[in-house]
Structure 1
Amino acid sequence: MKAIILAGGKGKRLKPVTDYIPKPLVSINNIPIIEWQIKYLQKFGIDEIIICTGYKKEMIENYLNLKKFNLRVKFSNETIPLGTGGAIKKAGKMIKGKSFLVINGDTITNINLKKLIKKQNSVAAIELRTKYGVLETNDDKIINFKEKKEISDIWMNAGIYHLDHSILKNLPNKGDIEKTLFPEYAKKDKLNLVKFKNVKWFSIDSFKDMEDCSKEINKIIK
C-alpha cells in the first residue's frame, strides 16, 4: 500500500514559526510533524510515501533525505498551489496499484488504517469535538458542566482517505477534493464512510493544538 502526505501549505496559523520553516517541519516533542506521520504510516505496512510539497519544499526534502526510513520516500513538487485535489492528482500518477491512502500533512492520530483500507473511496470520520465547555441544562439551571467532549452521531472529516486509483481521472487539476470531487461522488452514492470512535486525533492548526498533542503523542505513535 502506498500513501500520499499533503504537505504543501504555508501554515499561516502557526506564524511566525512558519515564516522560517514549513509546517511539516514544526516539531512536536522535538520531532517534526511529518516524521511522526511517517512513523504512523510505517506501523501499517506502508512501503512507499509520496509527499506533496510546495512552500519551502527544499527544506522538507533536505531534512527527509538525511533520515533513514524503512520505506521509499518520493516528492511531488508544486510550483503553484494546486489544492488538495490537484495535489493528489499530480502525486497519484507516481503510484502503481489499485488504491492508495491520503493524509493531511497536519494530522496526528491513531486511527486504524487497516479498517479504512477495507473500503474503496472512503473517508475516515470521527465524532465532532467541541473546543469549548458544554453545559447540560434544565430550564435556566445548569445541571452539569463538561469540558471538551465528543458530540455523538455528528461526524467530521478526519483528513484521511482511501482512494481507488481510477479516481485520478476525475480529480481537478487545481482545486480541493473536498469541494469538487467528494460532493459529486457523495451525490452519486460513490463515497464511503468509515467511522472511528474513541480515537486520538489532532489537527495541528494552532500553538494550543501543538501543546495538547505534545502531551499524548508518545502514546499515540509508538
Structure 2
Amino acid sequence: MSKIIDKYTIMYNYTIRESIKRMDEIGIGFIAVTNEFGKICGVVTDGDFRRAILKGVSLDDDVIKIANKRFISIDPKYSDKEIKDIFKKNPIKHIPVIKNGKLVDLIIKEKFYSGEESIKYNQINLPVVIMAGGRGERLDPFTRILPKPLIPIGDKTVIEIIMDEYAKFGMKNFYISINYKGKMIKAYFEDFAGDYNISFIQEEKPLGTIGALKYLVGEIYTPFCVSNCDIIIKSDYTEIYKFHKKNGYIITIVCSLQHHIIPYGICEIENGGILKMFIEKPRYDLLVNTGMYIFNPEVLDYIPKNEAFDITDLIKIILKKGKRVGVFPISEKSWLDVGQWEEYKETIKYLKLF
C-alpha cells in the first residue's frame, strides 16, 4: 500500500509546477492529492493542468487549488464488471481505490483492458500531413545514409510510430512531403503493411518548414493535422481538435511546457548600466512549439506557391490579419523529440524499446 501511495500521490501543498513534474515522472496523466494525514482530498489530471495554464494560474500555487474534489472512486470490493460499467459511463481514464480515506490502488483504464480488448479512443477522421523533406542535419552523419523519417526506434521507423499515434484516433489518411532522399522514403512505403492511405507531396526544391502545404490546395477542404517527421506526441488528439474547434482557431499550435533554470545569477540593468535587479538562478516556465499543429484549410491561401516558407512566416501573417491562433499545452514528457542525438536516445529509453 505504501508503494501505491508514494507513486501516485502528492501532498496538497506541493506547487503546481512540482506536481506537473511528478505527473510526468509517473507517465499516466493522473495524480491524487493527499492532506496532511495521507487521505485523498482531490485528484488532478493532465487536463486540469492544461486548463490551469490556459487560465494563467501561477505554477507556484498549491496544487490543491486546481484539484478536482468531486472525483469518482471505489472501494476494494468492486468487481471487474462494476469497474467496466464505471469506465463505460464516465469519460475517465483512472479510478482511485480508496479504503479509510487512503489510496490503496489505482485502476488505469489502459492496463485494465490490456489483453482483453483494445481501448476505444474517440475517432476524428482528419487528414494528416507529415513534413519529411528536410535533411536532418542535427542527426548527421546518420542522415547521410538514411532520411530522418526512416530512423529506427525498435522494430519501427519514427514516421511509422507517428502515424500509429494518429491512427489510434481514426486518422489514417496521410500526406507525406518529401525532398531529401525522397525516393528512399517512397520505396520504403511501397512494401508498407499498415492500413493507411498514403500520398506523397514531392518538393522539387526545399520549401521551408511548411511551403509544401501549398500543393494541398484543391486536395483538402477540412481541418487537418500537420506534424514534423521527428516528433512523437503522446496526448489525446481528440482533445486537441475539440480545443481547436470550440475556440474557433484558424491554427492551433501544440506546445510543451518546459521548465528551465539558469544556473547563474542574472543582472537586469537600466540605461547607463545601473543595476535594476539581481536574480539568483532564475526559473522560467516556457511553452515551446513541438512541431504539431491543426490548420483550417483557409491557411493554404496565405502560403506562397513554390517558395520557401516557414511556420513563423505564416503565424506572422495570420496574426496580422487578426485571425485567432490557439496554443494547446502538453506536459514536458508528452513531447518526444528524436531530431537530435541526445533526444533520440532519451526517446528510446522512454518508449522502453531497447
> How far 1:97 sits from its partner (Å)?
3.0
What SS does structure 2 have at the residue aligned with 1:41?
helix
1:1-222 to structure 2, matched below 5 A, reads 1-90=126-215, 92-93=216-217, 95-118=219-242, 119=244, 120=249, 121-130=251-260, 151-152=284-285, 154-173=286-305, 174-187=307-320, 188-197=322-331, 199-217=333-351
Contact kept, 8 Å, 1:85 with 1:172, in 2: the verdict is no
Aligned mates of 2:190, 2:173 — CA distance in 1 = 14
Paired residue type of 1:12: E
Q: Deviations over 1:31-57 (max 9, x none)?
A: 211111111111111020000010001
TM-score computed with the length of structure 1 as normaliser: 0.83
Contact 2:136 2:143 in 1 (8 A): yes
Q: Take 1:27 and 1:12, find their aligned partners in 2: how far apart are those partners?
A: 17
CA contact (8 A) 2:136 2:148 kept: yes
The one-character-per-residue Cα deviations of 1:169-217 (angstroms, maximum 9, x if unpaired) are 1112323332211022234242121122354212222221111000112
Q: What is the deviation of 1:20? A: 1.1
Match of 2:141, as an amino acid? P
Poorly superposed stretches of 4+, deviation over 4 Å = 133-137, 139-142
Runs of 5+ consecutive residues of structure 2 not aligned to the other structure: 1-125, 266-277
Matched-pair contact (CA < 8 Å) for 1:172–1:180: no
RMSD (Å) for aligned C-alpha atoms = 2.5
**SS of 2:159's equivalent?**
helix
Bigger radius of gyration? 2
Aligned residues: 207
Q: Secondary structure at the match of 2:256?
A: strand
Q: Greater relative contact order (Cα 8 A, min sep 6): structure 1 or 2?
A: 1
Counterpart of 1:181, as a letter, is: L
Q: What secondary structure does 1:175 align onto?
A: coil
Q: 1:168 to 1:218 in 2, by over 3 A?
A: farther
Normalising to structure 2: TM-score of the pair? 0.54
Q: Structure 1: where are the runs of 5+ without partners? A: 143-149
Contact 1:111 1:199 in 2 (8 A): no
Identity of aligned residues (%): 24
